[in-house]
């Protein structure tokens, strides 16, 4: 299965800009399906970016984050060719991890 996480990490001088897009339904628990039954909440709770064994960005998310979430941030000190590890866990205990090369 292809990874649910797509990342672009670009080093520009000392700053590395990271954009991530994750495929996830992010169901809020307030939406009803075609039969009028509530779709249970299903959303990513924690998303973590690690560089060199250190957290560089940690997101705690609630169900108000849009479906197929997108996030952008920047951090200092990384070089082109380095690895950035991204992982998420959702409220049902599912998770995914990927490693992106900084370009």
Partner 1 sequence: MTTTIGPLPTRRLILQGAASVTLIGLGNLPFAASPARAAANDKYPEEAFKQKSEADAIKALYGKTAEPSDKVKLDAPEIAENGGVVPISVTTTLDQVTSISFFVAENPNALAASYKIPDGTVPAVANRLKMAKTTNVVAIVESGGKLYSASKEVKVTVGGCGG
By CB under 8 A, name the binding residues for partner 1.
1-3, 5-8, 15, 19-21, 23, 28, 30-32, 45-46, 54-77, 85, 87, 89, 93, 95, 97-100
If the CB atoms of residues 3 and 82 are measured against partner 1, the closer one turns out to be 3
Rounded-to-integer distance, Cα 44 and Cα 63, Å? 8
Q: What is the DSSP letter of 91?
A: T
Q: What are residue 16's DSSP bridge partners?
A: 11, 75
At its nearest, how many Å lie between partner 1 and the CB of residue 15?
7
What's the closest the beta carbon of residue 48 comes to partner 1, in angstroms?
Answer: 8
Q: How far is the CB of 52 from partner 1 (least distance, A)?
A: 10
* Residues 26 and 68: beta-carbon distance below 8 Å: yes
Measured over the CA atoms of residue 84, residue 51, residue 98 and residue 61, the dihedral's sign is negative
């Amino acid at each position: 299965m292809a990874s649910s996480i797509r990342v672009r990490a670009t080093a520009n001088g000392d700053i590395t800009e990271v954009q991530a897009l994750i495929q996830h339904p992010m169901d809020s628990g307030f939406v009803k399906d075609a039969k009028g039954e509530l779709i249970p909440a299903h959303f990513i709770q924690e998303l973590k970016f690690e560089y060199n064994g250190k957290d560089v960005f940690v997101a705690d998310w609630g169900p108000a984050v849009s479906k197929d979430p997108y996030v952008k941030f920047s951090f200092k000190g990384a070089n082109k060719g380095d690895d950035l590890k991204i992982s998420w866990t959702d409220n049902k205990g599912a998770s995914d991890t990927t490693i992106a090369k900084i370009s």
